[in-house]
Structure 1
């Protein structure tokens, strides 16, 4: 039966018998339609890389489905894998991590439950990927920055020193952590309290040089996938952050340390602000290389999240200080909560709608291959 809206007097026009629809119902329908559109923003992506060792690998899959053939289960996934001591771990993780995430979540969950389960599924997937890679008997390792975008919800899991940074309405947010010992006192404490040794390389005469490393093995990262030959204290458990954007959208930069060793997050956003994602990624990489030289593989992924109702198709608007798009749902972070000076400098907890954050140190040592895998490692 077709429906008609009522006239100003509340009765239907003419002599027909069509049912009237109250104005409040029509307004609710319109709001629901707008909410659905806003919750499925448009994504625009860009990628650029300059190789030195050929150990950086990327994963860009804007169209994924949790349930094949069901469009309502769609999401997007992006990953950056910066390998070391060979590319085996980076390639293996790129090829298997997403499948391990999906395997850790029941396929019949609705969207709300899927998003609630996703942070722990990412932890489970990182640990499983690492455990499975150990059977390959390879010595390589990799950093991972893995991003899943479902509507306006961004979930990031990371190990190592590749970074994911968000700019939204003039504010910058770190969605990952730097797991280099030099940058992360909490990780130094975790390793030493578990029985590991963290120090610099000793040379003839007793002088110490280079970055802080974990011994035995000498790796300067506290968390990675792979690296089974560098000791049990280098673990694959990621920092996981899940936040919700407003309908204003934002821009993500996912980049390897070749970028972040040369550019601050502000410099990366500023040098690319007037550019769409593809040339923005190129500009960021070229600016980093121009600053420090091509000392390492230098890779950048740019993702613009554009709400349906906004008029922006990027470039991003000029930065306006003091405007935020998030609200803290749980608690304020004190400076002691943050894992590095950079995190404290760029994250303002008062304007972040933080749905989930955990960097569980419950698993303080790397699992061995014959360990019976259990999915739950985190606690709120």
Structure 2
């Protein structure tokens, strides 16, 4: 573990800091050929960094579980910070997780959103998008997401998106059926009730009646054709296509270096948003 990560954990434990480390790496203890790395860069906005990541392997009994996530907060970082420490905990504690992972993930997403709404006086009225990936024994990947952070897998050099961008324009009918509306002002993106540019998110108390927190969930098998997984906030995907991202790191062996390369590429393409990226290498 890098020195800055150890220092960060000491500060958090002592209550001095809630800022995420900006880079890190690791690998599985059982699945030693699987490595992961992450890198975060604050955008040009005046507010503090609102992205948080989880990138780690966890041993549970005789099973090794890879836990990877990106939480992109809006209207403050407290909801994203809460998700970083509580969402996977809720998923893994959900009865039936090992037998029916997809069902457990859906229930835990809903439960965690309820917790956030109940703690609005502490966490505020902001919200967060999320993309999560759970790797079971290095063989099966369960990806879930709400919002526009994205997960893309590379198989034989071909990019495949495992998440769904929850766009208000695409989900206009569902939003209107809940009593909301989608603004479509020229020069701007579609927004729920003229405010939020994603149709699904955690939190957002004032919009929740019109806003879903139901995740898209997808299962993917890891085989000899699977090279790596990219997870990133929309600060990357606004300026780079899925295939461009895959092509730009296919020759970079170190996962942390690959994640850093992607964030730097997004900055060079004039992305002004917070950018967080995780790369998981399977080979």
TM over 0.5: yes
Tell me, yes or no, if structure 1 residue 254 matches structure 2 residue 231.
Answer: yes
Shift in Å at residue 136 of structure 1? 1.5
Show CA shifts across 1:45-86 (max 9, x none).
111111124001001122331xxxx2x222111110000000
Instruction: Give the length in aligned residue pairs.
Output: 245
Equivalences for 1:110-259 in 2 at 5 Å?
114=98, 116-137=99-120, 138-150=124-136, 151-182=138-169, 185=170, 187-201=171-185, 208-215=186-193, 218-259=195-236
SS at 1:262 equivalent: coil
User: C-alpha deviations, 1:213-240, integer Å up to 9, x for none?
Assistant: 111x621111000111124121111000
The answer on 1:281 being equivalent to 2:266 is no
Conservation of the 8 A alpha-carbon contact between 2:158 and 2:246: no
Tell me the distance in 2 between the aligned counterparts of 1:214 and 1:188.
8
CA contact (8 A) 2:72 2:233 kept: yes
TM-score, normalisation: structure 1: 0.62
Q: Which has the larger radius of gyration?
A: 1
* C-alpha RMSD of the superposition: 1.8
- In 2, the alpha carbon distance for the partners of 1:232 and 1:264 equals 32
Q: CA deviation at 1:253?
A: 0.3
Give the TM-score normalised by the residue count of structure 2.
0.82
In structure 2, stretches of 5+ residues that fail to align are: 1-29
Distance 1:63 1:154 in 2: 15
Task: Structure 1: give runs of 5+ residues left out of the alignment.
Answer: 1-38, 108-113, 202-207, 307-380
For the residue of structure 1 that corresponds to 2:282, the secondary structure is: strand
Q: Give SS of 1:181's match.
A: coil
Deviations along 1:254-292, whole A, 9 cap, x unmatched?
000010001111111111121121111111111111012
Regions of 4+ moved over 6 Å: none
The residue correspondences of 1:262-277 to structure 2 (distance < 5 A) are 262-275=239-252, 276-277=254-255
- Aligned to 2:41, which of 37, 40, 50? 50
Helix, strand or coil: the match of 2:189? strand
Report the Cα distance in structure 1 between the residues aligned to 2:150 and 2:200, rounded to whole angstroms: 13
CA–CA distance in 1 between the matches of 2:135 and 2:282? Answer: 9
Counterpart Cα distance in 1 of 2:282 and 2:32: 6
Take 1:193 and 1:131, find their aligned partners in 2: how far apart are those partners? 21
Is this contact kept in 2: 1:40–1:152, CA < 8 A?
no
